[in-house]
């Protein structure tokens, strides 16, 4: 009987902690949306290396780092470098 009570108590505690974390995340997201911090197009740099995502300045689609063009609207993404076909590096030799 005592073992069942322990398991029930641990389950209730785990549910309470998860609910608290979910509520805290929701409140943080709502607060950021209300103040404009972290909102897309809010003057922030479209390249976010922490998330590994580049945001398209034209349509706002999140693209993975390393891509030159947006996967949605095919416009050129910021922070990309032009491909040099005459380079002696491995990419230049493959593309010739």
Q: Identify whether residues 72 and 93 lie together within a single domain.
A: yes
What pTM was estimated for this model as a whole?
0.36
* Pair (50, 89) in one structural domain: yes
How many Cβ atoms sit within 10 Å of the Cβ of residue 68? 13
Give the pLDDT confidence score for residue 21 in this predicted structure: 93
Kindly give the confidence (pLDDT) of every residue in the chain, 96 residues in length, as a single tens digit, with 9 standing for 90 and above: 567 888 999 999 999 999 999 999 988 888 887 776 554 544 444 555 557 788 888 898 898 888 888 988 988 888 766 665 565 655 555 554
Same domain for 23 and 53, yes or no, is no
- Which of 79, 34, 36, 35 minimizes the C-alpha distance to 55? 79
Residue range(s) defining the domain that contains residue 23: 1-39
| Kind and range of the H or E run holding 63 | strand 62-64
Both 53 and 94 in one domain: the answer is yes
How many structural domains compose the chain? Answer: 2
pLDDT for the residue 14: 95
52 and 33 in a single domain? The answer is no
Same domain, residue pair 50 and 19 = no
pLDDT reported for residue 44: 47
| CA distances, 3 to each of 14, 17, 48, 49, 66 (Å) | 17, 21, 48, 48, 53
């Amino acid at each position: 009987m005592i073992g069942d009570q322990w398991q029930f108590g641990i389950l209730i505690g785990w549910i309470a902690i998860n609910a608290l974390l979910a509520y805290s995340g929701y409140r943080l997201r709502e607060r950021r949306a209300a103040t404009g911090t972290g909102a897309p197009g809010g003057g922030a740099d479209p390249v976010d290396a922490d998330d590994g995502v580049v945001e398209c300045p034209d349509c706002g689609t999140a693209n993975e780092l390393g891509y030159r063009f947006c996967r949605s609207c095919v416009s050129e993404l910021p922070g990309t470098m032009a491909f040099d076909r005459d380079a002696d590096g491995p990419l230049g030799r493959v593309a010739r």
